Amino acid sequence: MDIRAGLQSGDKRACARLISMVENEDEQAIGILKELYGLTGKARVIGITGPPGAGKSTVTDKLAKLLRQQGKKVGIVAVDPTSPFTGGAILGDRVRMTDLSTDPGVFIRSMGTRGALGGLSKAAHGAVKVLDIFGMDYIFIETVGVGQSEVDIVRLADTVIMVAVPGLGDDIQAIKAGIMEIGDVFAVNKSDRDGAERTATELEMMLDFNIRSQYRPPVINIIAKDNKDVDKLLEAVEKHYVYLVNSGELSQRKKNSIKNEIIDIFKYAMVKAIEEKSQSSSFIEQLISDTVDKRLDPYTAAAKLVEEFRSR
């Protein structure tokens, strides 16, 4: 299969295969991404995050359908947790997106976290690039159901939708640091349930204290399963994008995100290099056994390792 040609002619198999290769850290995939990197950066990237069962997949499904009505092509990356014990995973987000699977303008890919802890998989960045090259106008990334601090999505998305639901705890939960700080748009889903107004009010109160920018994230009550007010949510997402462009924050975010990506790739390469070396290097062996025998401490051992790498 010629993946480059397939990607550019809209062959979904080529797109799917390249995403797998990225996930499996195939050297060839990196080569293709290097070559086609110039084609990235055209898609709008929207993160969907929130606690388990908040309705992230259903919200994604409904937003995607609205965008399809406008003729936009939509890519979806849906991440679910990988078992830390067996490496297996049940990826079940497609259950809520059944009718999208045969839409020629939609590409959905499920991913396991494969050990990553920030709510995404390590390959999520790569998958977004592939879908961008594949010509998707909008790319949704649905995180795993998050708790309080899985905030990696903010580094990948232009706009983060935080999906909340009524009845998940008192207002102190909302003022803790972490995921509540990363929402650009808040959706209170299942708003036909008791406490929806209160949840919205608590979010608004939390946002009253947020002074990090002139932009104030809106809070929108929706009922995703009935498609109620999902259009308002999409409108809010579009408004946030206009703000990003006009304020110059978009280029700042993109710059930060690229910086983070380069550092991540660098770190990963360093760790790999050290791991490979430690198999053969008597220097690292020595550091380890010295630390075991308390002749060294881990801080000094690590500092010696840094020095050793620097001196090359």
CA atoms within 13 Å, Cβ hemisphere of 84: 3
CB under 8 A, 24+ apart: contacts of 241-248: 241/44, 241/158, 241/159, 243/215, 244/158, 244/159, 247/213, 247/214, 247/215
Binding mask 17-46 for other proteins (x = CB under 8 A): x-xx--xxx---------------------
Cα 279 to the chain's mean position, in Å?
33
User: Residue 275 interacts with other proteins (CB under 8 A)?
Assistant: no
Q: Could you tell me the smallest distance in angstroms from the CB atom of residue 107 to other proteins?
A: 6
Which window, 101-109, 145-153, 240-248, 275-283, contacts other proteins (CB under 8 A)? 101-109
User: Residue 2 interacts with other proteins (CB under 8 A)?
Assistant: no
Buried b (16+ CB within 10 A) or exposed e, 170-200: eeeebeeeebbebbbbbbbbbbeeeebeebb
Which lies closer to other proteins via its Cβ, residue 19 or residue 133?
19
d(CA 275, CA 294): 22
User: Residue 276 interacts with other proteins (CB under 8 A)?
Assistant: no
Residue 57: CB atoms within 10 A of its CB come to: 22
Give the pairing of strands 138-142 and 74-80: parallel
Which window, 61-69, 82-90, 249-257, 270-278, contacts other proteins (CB under 8 A)? 82-90
Binding mask 45-74 for other proteins (x = CB under 8 A): ------------------------------
User: Residue 132 interacts with other proteins (CB under 8 A)?
Assistant: no
Given the rule CB under 8 A, which residues bind other proteins?
A: 12-13, 15-17, 19-20, 23-25, 82-83, 86-92, 94-95, 98, 101-102, 107-110, 112, 114
